[in-house]
Amino acid sequence: MRRSRLRFSGRGMRRWLSPGIGIKRWLVVVFFGELCLALAGAFVLRWVYRDFDVSGPSQTALWFLTLQFLPYAVRAIIIGVLGLGLFFYGSWRAIRVVVGPFLSSEADQPLVEVIYQKRFLSRGPKIVVIGGGTGLSMLLRGLKEHTSNITAVVTVADDGGSSGRLRESLGIPAVGDIRNCIAALADAEPLMAELLQYRFPGDDSASLGGHTIGNLLLAAMTAVQGDDFEEAVRQMNRVLAVRGQVVPATATPIVLHARLLDGTQVTGQSEISRASGIDRVWLSPEGVAAGDDAVRAIGEADLLVIGPGSLYTSILPSLLLPEIAQAVRTTPALRLYVCNVATQKGETSDYDLADHVAALERHTSPGLLDLVLANNQFAAKRRGNDDADPVKLRWPPLPASSASAGPRLVLDDVVDPENAHHHDSARLAAAIVKVYESEGFGRRRSRVARTA
């Protein structure tokens, strides 16, 4: 069995002294305590040197003990080096003894990394992300390196694959996107993600064929919690040590509908994702209550991020819930929309940046967004068999007199250099944090009144 690795590397020492760890203040206290003890020892030695005759045969041991056979400078260096060595070694052993029992025996992180995550990241901004699909889980992997105060508000409109089968047989909301987000935010992400994403072999007709472990765990937890889906997701967050929290947009199974430009109506998230020329989408049943955790998190956020993800099938289903739409309109947080870096065949074919924003506001309300973040790097590698195109940066400038009537555009290099159709999680998270910091740490304090 592997043991916890508590090591003192150069990088680890720098991390110990970085702001937010909370260790430096106590090191200062220890230092002054040691200084007082050293002064007391100096007084004793001074007394011994002045009042005792250590040159006689009976005092030989005391003469050696007080190092009087060496010059004063050499004595100071020897005692100083010994003191520093004892101080650092004793401090390291004390921290290891105190904190060691709280670390898993299988942990593969230095102790300082664990404390850094718990202390420094807990002081990060409160960021709420609304969306679903692979775009949301990708963003969460990047954001969790900047803050642990993350809330992912996840759509539950999926009706395909394992999620659709569990939804049909058990009557629970779709769990697939929630599973992906929990795997992304789990502290033991690589192994946990592999476990949660494991899909049983076989076709859909088999009892377990096509199902993932994560989906089955969420379904089982819902049953254990007395069919309380929100509580089941809360417990999964706790059991899997999620950094932040993942919450469903609603605890009620919902169905997504769409009307195309030719008047045709399409039902179901999986069908709509393949449709072209979408005019409007809506949910049934109407007036579904949003999740309490989702509404509360939006109201308490410092930064609200919408997207990235499929516009009509991952982002809008959550925003179409009346309580979430109202919470987004009235939140004091800065509201940022992250546009996809590429179009999606069918759903957003030929959409440019302005089309994405127009569709979003058409389904919610004008003025919903404060900022729009889009990619401005188009040299990334493209896959030859993918029909998607980079989203063009069409963005009509607003007249100076109406500069506050629409969102402001922010451009940055957020694309994956190896895949022109996906964001890079680290780059996107860094760009979002940079926007948050440049905007006065998020809160729209002077503009809250206009949304009330």
Domain residue extents for the chain: 10-112, 124-155+249-451
State which of 25-34, 184-193, 330-339 shows the largest mean pLDDT: 330-339
- Confidence check: pLDDT of 265 > 70: yes
**In terms of pLDDT, which residue wins out, 196 or 390?**
390
d(CA 21, CA 37): 27
Confidence of residue 19 (pLDDT cuts 50, 70, 90): low
- The confidence score (pLDDT) of residue 445 equals 46
- The confidence score (pLDDT) of residue 332 equals 93
Q: Which residues contact 125 (CB under 8 A, 6 or more apart)?
A: 147, 149, 302, 303, 433, 436, 441, 442
**In terms of pLDDT, which residue wins out, 345 or 190?**
345
**In terms of pLDDT, which residue wins out, 434 or 104?**
434
Predicted TM-score (pTM) of the model is 0.76
Phi, psi of 124 (to 5 degrees): -70, 170
- The confidence score (pLDDT) of residue 188 equals 63
Torsion angle (degrees, nearest 10) of CA 122, 128, 133, 139:
-50
Phi, psi of 90 (to 5 degrees): -65, -40
The answer to whether residues 272 and 281 touch, using CB atoms and an 8 Å cutoff, is yes
pLDDT in tens, 411-452: 999 999 999 889 999 999 999 999 999 986 655 544 444 344
Tell me the percentage of the chain whose pLDDT exceeds 90.
43
- The confidence score (pLDDT) of residue 160 equals 75
- The confidence score (pLDDT) of residue 22 equals 61
Counting other chains too, the contacts that 159-164 makes at CB distance below 8 Å and 24 or more residues apart are 159/255, 159/256, 159/268, 159/269, 159/270, 160/268, 160/269, 160/270, 161/210, 162/199, 162/210, 162/211, 162/212, 162/215, 163/215, 164/270
Identify the three-state secondary structure at position 265.
strand
State which of 46-60, 111-125, 319-333 shows the largest mean pLDDT: 319-333
Torsion angle (degrees, nearest 10) of CA 204, 206, 207, 208:
-70
- The confidence score (pLDDT) of residue 101 equals 60
DSSP string spanning 115-153? HHHHHTGGGS--EEEEE-HHHHHHHHHHHTTT-S-EEEE
In Å, how far are 102, 196, 290 from 218, measured between CA atoms? 27, 10, 19
- The confidence score (pLDDT) of residue 410 equals 95
- The confidence score (pLDDT) of residue 56 equals 58
d(CA 317, CA 156): 8
In Å, how far are 41, 44, 62, 70, 269 from 48, measured between CA atoms? 10, 6, 9, 16, 87
d(CA 137, CA 122): 20
Please name which of 430, 423, 427 lies closest in space to residue 135, comparing C-alpha atoms: 423
* Mean pLDDT, residues 97-103 taken together: 63
* Mean pLDDT, residues 168-184 taken together: 87
Give me the chain's average pLDDT, please.
Answer: 81
Amino acid code (one letter) for 41: G
Tell me the percentage of the chain whose pLDDT exceeds 70.
75
* Mean pLDDT, residues 330-355 taken together: 94
Confidence of residue 53 (pLDDT cuts 50, 70, 90): low
Identify the three-state secondary structure at position 65.
helix
Confidence of residue 165 (pLDDT cuts 50, 70, 90): confident
- Confidence check: pLDDT of 105 > 50: no
- The confidence score (pLDDT) of residue 381 equals 87
Longest dimension (CA), the chain: 112
- The confidence score (pLDDT) of residue 130 equals 97
pLDDT in tens, 108-156: 556 666 666 667 788 889 999 999 988 999 999 999 989 999 999 999 9
Q: Which residues contact 406 (CB under 8 A, 6 or more apart)?
A: 367, 369, 398
**In terms of pLDDT, which residue wins out, 436 or 398?**
436
Least confident of 94-98, 175-179, 227-231, 437-441: 94-98
Please name which of 189, 108, 84, 127 lies closest in space to residue 336, comparing C-alpha atoms: 127
pLDDT in tens, 267-320: 999 899 989 899 999 999 998 999 999 999 999 999 999 999 999 999 999 999
d(CA 292, CA 295): 5
> Could you name the CATH architecture of 124-155+249-451?
3-Layer(aba) Sandwich (3.40)
CB atoms within 10 A of CB 417: 12
* Mean pLDDT, residues 316-345 taken together: 95
- The confidence score (pLDDT) of residue 242 equals 87
In Å, how far are 151, 185, 322 from 137, measured between CA atoms? 12, 8, 24
- The confidence score (pLDDT) of residue 297 equals 97
* Mean pLDDT, residues 369-390 taken together: 86
For residue 256, what are its two tokens? 């997504």
Phi, psi of 410 (to 5 degrees): -120, 125
